[in-house]
Amino acid sequence: MTTWGAIERLLTELRPRLIVECSQTPPRPEAIAEAERFFRASFPKEFRALLAETDALYIEAKPEFWPKRGGGPAAALMNGFGTFGIGADVPKGLRLDTHLRRIRRELRNASIDAEMLPVLQRVGDDGTFGYVANRFSYWSPSSGKVRELEQGLFDVILSALGDLRTYMRPTHALEHE
């Protein structure tokens, strides 16, 4: 199982080539417990740990290090990801409540009887990672299916960072001209 420490090490390596935004004041345990009551959900351990470290987290490859679109694998088009948070300073696009309403609507419209706690979305992907009955899963609106995953939240974050490392240029784009 991947740990937050492994994610931090890779983030440190990649930071010069990334845009990284997170809450300056992650929520305290009491605020996380209050959010659980508000959402009527028990947050899984990994999600609680992520909230305590960063609250919401947004990571994107800096444009000057990202290859031009076209050709390449689909993952090359996904140049970042965001995790959803609960704090007052979390931007609307990364707020858990915003995504929870969206997911509930999408699942209802797809006639899927499941409650999902959304936690992560990749840039350029219409799907959402989250927890269904405390099992890490992926909801794909295009396929109309929720799929349980073998990996956990931190594994998916580490994998997304690994994809960024694979597809990013090692040096600034101007150095390639």
d(CA 59, CA 36): 25
Place of tokens 């309403």: 101
With b meaning 16 or more CB within 10 Å and e meaning fewer, what string describes 17-34? Answer: bbeeebbeebbeeebbee
Q: Per residue in 106-148, pLDDT tens?
A: 999 999 999 999 999 999 899 999 999 999 999 999 999 999 9
Beta bridge partners of 136: 131
Token couple for 56: 């919401």
Q: CB-based contacts of 2: which residues, under 8 Å, 6+ apart?
A: 152, 154, 155, 157, 158
pLDDT in tens, 51-95: 999 999 999 999 888 887 665 565 556 899 999 999 988 998 999
CATH of domain 4-172: 3.40.1580.10
pTM, 2 dp:
0.90
Mean pLDDT of 92-100: 94
